[in-house]
Structure 1
Amino acid sequence: MIKVYIYKNKKEASIFCKDIITTIVNNNPSAVIGFATGSTFVDTYASIINDFNKNKTDWSNVKTFNLDEYLNAKKDSPFGYRYFMDEQLFSHINLQEKNIHFPNSINTSSDDLKKYDAQIFDAHLNLQLLGVGRNGHIAFNEPGTRIDSTTHIVDLAKSTIEDNARLFFNGDEDLVPKKAISMGISNIMSAQKILLAAWGESKQEAIKKLLEVGEITSNCPVTFLKKHNDVVVVLDEIAFELINENNIDNKLVEINKKF
């Protein structure tokens, strides 16, 4: 089942995302959460920090697993995803270092990839956060990725490089790493609950393919989420604009408008 919540703007939607995450942590202090980088959850992470400072939500026993990392990115690299998570969230709440997990982007042998898979599957993700690319990629699982894929090395699509250059590298595509290491689709689908958020016009086509009746295909990896039994999709009004509600299977998708 996919439950969709549409808010007037990103700010309101991000607070709702925060509420979902902190409720899980409060109900299960040893929760296992898969985190996502990129611009989508920046406001959500700021809201989590505010909640921590105000309500003292305890993250000390929470385990985290991140979706992906640029190949060969070091922990302190300012363009690396570990650095991003520390700056945006991890260093501002009481997570323990031993509970923070990232794919090893330096040692990328088959055994190292399998080790991250084993850690994820053994921990049992209670929640996985996801953004979505304009080409439908989730994590760095670009079009063509199989549903049974596990942690793997990825050649980034041109559209992904363009988007990351615009968001994080001042528009300079030459600075964007061309390879990354990513959880596979099967890792993501193993989560008990998935929270996907999307804002703005650039996400409209991918969201349309996810929510409307249509093919589940590796050509648009986000459509694999139709096979999961507990997905929450949080959108702003603009991201929802292309949706034809007459082309939604009400047995699969539930729409909740919050404006």
Structure 2
Amino acid sequence: MKLIVTGSYEESSRIAADMFEEVIINKKNPLLGCATGSTPIGLYQCLTEDYRAGKIDFSGVRTINLDEYAGLTKSHSQSFGYFMEQHLFSKVNIKKENIMLIDGAAQAEDQCRDYDRFLEQNEIDILVLGIGNNGHIGFNEPSHVFTAKTHVVELEEETIKANSRFFGGEDEVPKKAVTMGMAGITGAGKVVLIAAGAAKAEAIGKLLADDYIDPMLPCSILKICRDVTVIIDKELAAAMR
């Protein structure tokens, strides 16, 4: 596991983008694992800018998203499909048939089965992750066991509170989500975790601690990955001391 401390969120995003672009340029039909929320927005901005500058081409790129709120259609303004369209897909030349999304409005069991079948046949080349204050990755919340496959999850109160800013209040936040399980995440060729701000210090500190793997801290499973880079800003690094 490699740790990079940067001077700012913007620098973190640039470093992550360079890692993604190396894969896009050097691998035929790469499969990118995409997260949503505020963390990867800077990464997607960098990728968009470099596409417009002619540095990268998305015509052969494939993507798969980590998760989706249960009950939201792809056109809902807070769905992760809509998020990806706004921040990346509509701004580059990616082909619609190369985009793999969870349909929150469809039958959840069918979506889980389709996702797992796809992941059994396709390895994610590089995956970006954010991290919750409670250590969740994707919507894999703290639990007594790690769940390997794509599954429906009840969202923790802390996660609902954290996401309420996007919905205008906690009551509007969906209480369930569909998320890629740990097998898909840990099976990625490269994992890039971006975190910023002092609120993430406890979770990141435990992630970086030797031999600490516990399903109550979901991100700790990343220690078994082949290639993990954790990118944090100086504010978070200072809070960990």
Structure 2 length normalisation: TM-score?
A: 0.96
Does structure 1 residue 75 correspond to structure 2 residue 77? no
In structure 1, the partner of 2:231 is 234
Alignment length (residue pairs): 241
Does structure 1 residue 183 correspond to structure 2 residue 180? yes
1:225 to partner: Cα distance? 0.6
In structure 2, the partner of 1:115 is 114
Distance verdict in 2 for CA 1:102–1:3, change over 3 Å: same
The worse-fitting range, judged by mean Cα deviation, of 132-141 and 147-156 is 147-156
CA deviations 1:8-46 (Å, max 9, x no partner) are 111111111111111110011410011000000111111
CA deviations 1:54-87 (Å, max 9, x no partner) are 1241111111000001112111110111000100
Matches of residues 33-72 of structure 1 in structure 2 within 5 Å?
Answer: 33-72=32-71
2:73, 2:103 within 8 Å by CA — same for their partners in 1?
Answer: no
1:121, 1:190 within 8 Å by CA — same for their partners in 2?
Answer: no
Does structure 1 residue 169 correspond to structure 2 residue 167? yes
- Hey, what's the Cα distance between the residues in 2 that align with 1:3 and 1:157? 29
1:242 to partner: Cα distance? 3.9
- Hey, what's the Cα distance between the residues in 2 that align with 1:47 and 1:146? 36
In structure 1, the partner of 2:15 is 16
Q: Secondary structure, in 3 states, of the residue corresponding to 2:235? A: coil
2:213, 2:220 within 8 Å by CA — same for their partners in 1?
Answer: yes
1:214 to partner: Cα distance? 4.9
CA deviations 1:120-154 (Å, max 9, x no partner) are 22121111111000000000000016334211011
Identity, in percent, stands at 36
CA RMSD of aligned residues (A): 1.4
The one-letter code sitting in structure 2 at the alignment partner of 1:220 is L
In structure 1, the partner of 2:150 is 151
1:111 to partner: Cα distance? 4.0
In structure 1, the partner of 2:219 is 222
Which stretches of structure 1, 4 residues or longer, exceed 6 Å deviation after superposition? none
Distance verdict in 2 for CA 1:13–1:87, change over 3 Å: same
Structure 1 length normalisation: TM-score?
A: 0.89
Q: Secondary structure, in 3 states, of the residue corresponding to 2:230? A: strand
Structure 1 unaligned regions, length at least 5: 245-259
1:146, 1:185 within 8 Å by CA — same for their partners in 2?
Answer: no
2:108, 2:178 within 8 Å by CA — same for their partners in 1?
Answer: no
The one-letter code sitting in structure 2 at the alignment partner of 1:212 is A
2:128, 2:191 within 8 Å by CA — same for their partners in 1?
Answer: yes
In structure 2, the partner of 1:248 is none
- Hey, what's the Cα distance between the residues in 1 that align with 2:16 and 2:190? 13
In structure 1, the partner of 2:84 is 85
- Hey, what's the Cα distance between the residues in 2 that align with 1:95 and 1:204? 36
The one-letter code sitting in structure 1 at the alignment partner of 2:90 is S
Q: Secondary structure, in 3 states, of the residue corresponding to 1:128? A: strand
1:229 to partner: Cα distance? 2.0
1:197, 1:234 within 8 Å by CA — same for their partners in 2?
Answer: yes
Q: Secondary structure, in 3 states, of the residue corresponding to 2:43? A: helix
In structure 2, the partner of 1:208 is 205
- Hey, what's the Cα distance between the residues in 1 that align with 2:111 and 2:5? 39
